[in-house]
A and B are shown apart, each in its own frame.
Chain A
Amino acid sequence: MLKGRLKSKWARGLITVFILVHVYIMAIWGLPGSGFRATLARPIEHYVIYWGLWHSWDMFSPDPLSLNFRVEAQIIYQDGSTRTWNFPQMDKLSLWDRFQKERYRKWAERVRQDIYAGIWDDTSRFIARLNDTPTNHPTKVILIRNWEPIPPPVLIPGTANPQDFQPRPEHYEMRFNYRFKFYDVQPGDL
């Protein structure tokens, strides 16, 4: 009886420690980046990252993106010919394909950003493999981002309504572009 009570006391103590640690993780890990957050997160960092408890709840924030973008790749082949490969464009896909291929949008969203420069080589290699042919191999992959800012809402004079700006794919051109990665394809990449 006493042994059982001791055992349950120990179990409850252990569970309490477990709860405290995980509530701490929830409270600290999601905080917006700062020196304060970094200091508090350091003791739990290894545990959180190893066990996949990392998270960030910054959906559409602090501000949503105020531009539309597309990422594409220009592939240059051995014989000098070129080809353009587009990341799947959600607005041009069917409803089901948009649903199933949404992860390509997320991938492109990250490839577009400089903070994800670490994945540009992998991305280029992957695209080179996708576009390889038995007789004509890619020699260079150029990643290009195209974008068009969304005009800020401007009131229609005399009304309280914003200007009716609903860009439709068929009438929408991305005026800005930037070649952000030039990758020389190596023989082992294909």
Chain B
Amino acid sequence: MISLKDIVRAWSRFFFEPESPLPIALYRILLGLLVLANQALLYPDVLNWYGVHAAVSFQVAPDVSGGTGFNIFRWLPHTDRMVWLVYSLSCLSPVTLMLGLFSRVSAALVFLTLTTLHHRNPVMLNSGDTFLRIASFFVIFSQAGAALSIDRLVALARGKESGPPKPRAPWAMRLIQLQLAFLYLYAFIWKAMGPMWLAGTAVYYTSRLLEFRRFPVPYVYDHFWTIKLWSWGTLLVEFSLGVLVWIKELRYWVLLAGVLLHLGIDYSMNIPLFAFIMISAYVTFVEPADLRRFFSLVRQRFNREAKAESPMAFVPVFYDAKCSFCTRTVEVLRALDILRRLEFHPMQSPATKQRFPDFDPRRGEKEMLARSPDGWLGGFYAFRYMARSLPLLWPIVPLLYLPKIDLAGDRLYQRIAQRRYCILGQ
């Protein structure tokens, strides 16, 4: 027997017990990437699908989607220029979503622009589009910006956060998980109503649809036992992804089966991006500890190659632990240091003086220092050296080596360093 209290407690634990935001943050990045790819594929045909003279008129479109839905063009003039504007926004917002810049606003813009375009022309949509739209809706309410994001770097720089991302109520991510599970459960139920799926011949027919063919699949599509295996296997995997995925011990096996099913379909059938849209959402089912373990393994693999003289070397960094501005800067650098290449040493610590006897505390009071194989670097030059070890900063590293940038950068650094106690105090 289960009591109502138990149900309420289980509900509360499921939706509200704080959890690391890492899985949803990772999904935010993947979602942005997939929306961007999806939108990029539309680029050559934007006006054919959404323009004033598109394949479906503005007036007829609501009949296809079942009624009048949210559509920015209802308030803006529906001109081709405006179509390009909304389309551009639908490409820009996934970029800011990926970066985690104003994550909530970016997710809202992704959702609103997708919904507008989908309502403008629902005739050419597939299930992948639908899932992207609904997932982006739930991401708006999630803590997707609390990790792996520029938003987090800003929070660290402002001192609103410190250390690793704090656990938060995962209810919005749970809704994405539930949506995914319902998707598979209903895909199973719909198929279970079809005689071909029950007889195991469904894949025979799908494999012979000319319009879907991608790469040849010899043997499998020409033998009854393999066709039946694939047909019934599809039913089994879809049922599992809807139901068994909730059982902890089975979860990863079920997800693996889902990945294999989708990759198999993607190889043999031309359904662009659908497999990746589905697989990317599996990350919400991965335990944060397992994700961290995975990142750690990848990091170890990278770092094994690192040598002192290479740009991938470990870099000892020395900072003023009494200065709030400096400690926050260190927090930001720590968050950027995904390969854990920077070793931070507070200059006031006796261990620092012991380990680095040539460390000059008077210079350390004036600027942040980094130690390279060629000697000590300070201020802008230290930052530039550190940037080489931070993959997230690699895009700006070439700019830091442009002529005269070092002079301007160093002057700016020194001005900030002189005023660092005034900025945020000690």
Contact = CB atoms under 8 A, between A and B. Distances in A.
Given A123-B55, A162-B224, A53 B183 contact: no
A81 interface: no
Given A55-B183, A153-B224, A161-B223, 7 more contacts: A16-B15, A45-B67, A49-B67, A54-B130, A57-B190, A150-B208, A162-B223
A55 B184 CA distance: 13
Q: Which 8 A-B pairs have CB atoms at the shortest separation, nearest pair first?
A: A62-B194, A52-B115, A61-B190, A63-B194, A30-B186, A103-B124, A49-B67, A62-B193
Contacts of A68: 208-211
A173 interface: no
A64 B196 contact: yes
A58 B187 contact: yes
Given A57-B183, A63-B197, A99-B272, A116 B209 contact: no
B272 A102 contact: yes
Interface in A108-124: 110-111, 116, 118-119, 121-123
B356 interface: no
A30 B225 contact: no
B208 A167 contact: yes
A99 B276 CA distance: 14
B270 A98 contact: yes
A52 B270 contact: no
B396 to A, nearest CB: 32
A32 B45 CA distance: 33
A37 to B, nearest CB: 11
Nearest to B57: A122
Given A59-B127, A60-B206, A15 B115 contact: no
A64 B206 contact: yes
Contact of B67 (A23, A50, A62, A153): A50
B80 to A, nearest CB: 13
A106 B212 CA distance: 11
Interface in B179-231: 179, 182-184, 186-187, 189-191, 193-197, 201-202, 204-206, 208-214, 221-225, 227
Contacts of A162: 204, 222-224, 227
B292 interface: no
Given A107-B55, A164-B222, A166-B221, A90 B190 contact: no
Interface in A1-53: 12, 15-16, 18-19, 22-23, 26-27, 30-32, 45-46, 49-53
A15 B123 contact: no
B180 to A, nearest CB: 10
Given A58-B187, A107-B124, A153-B201, A52 B210 contact: no
Contacts of A55: 127, 130-131, 134, 183
Contacts of A178: none
A104 interface: yes
Given A63-B194, A126-B54, A150-B205, A103 B182 contact: no
Contact of B195 (A63, A95, A99, A160): A63
13 contacts: A16-B15, A31-B189, A50-B68, A52-B69, A62-B193, A63-B196, A64-B209, A65-B205, A100-B41, A126-B48, A153-B224, A161-B223, A172-B210
A53 B137 contact: yes
A53 B115 CA distance: 9
Range of interface residues on chain A?
35 or more
A129 interface: yes
Interface of A: 12, 15-16, 18-19, 22-23, 26-27, 30-32, 45-46, 49-66, 68, 89-91, 95, 98-107, 110-111, 116, 118-119, 121-123, 125-126, 129, 150, 152-153, 155, 160-162, 164-167, 169, 172
B41 A30 contact: no
B70 interface: yes
Given A60-B191, A99-B270, A89 B69 contact: no
Interface residue SS majority, chain B: helix
B16 interface: yes
Interface residues of B, number: 79
A64 B70 contact: no
B211 A105 contact: yes
Contacts, number: 202
B187 A59 contact: yes
Interface of B: 11, 15-16, 41-42, 44-45, 48-49, 53-57, 60, 63-70, 111, 114-115, 118-119, 123-127, 130-131, 133-134, 137-138, 141, 171, 174-175, 178-179, 182-184, 186-187, 189-191, 193-197, 201-202, 204-206, 208-214, 221-225, 227, 270-272
B211 A89 contact: yes
Contacts of A103: 42, 45, 49, 124
A27 B125 CA distance: 22
Contacts of A126: 48, 53-55
A60 B69 CA distance: 26
A107 B204 CA distance: 24
B322 to A, nearest CB: 33
Nearest to B215: A95
Nearest to A155: B224
B126 A23 contact: no
Contacts of B68: 49-50
B65 A54 contact: yes
A122 B312 CA distance: 59
A5 to B, nearest CB: 15
A130 to B, nearest CB: 9
Contacts of B45: 101, 103
A162 B191 CA distance: 22
B22 to A, nearest CB: 21
B69 A49 contact: yes
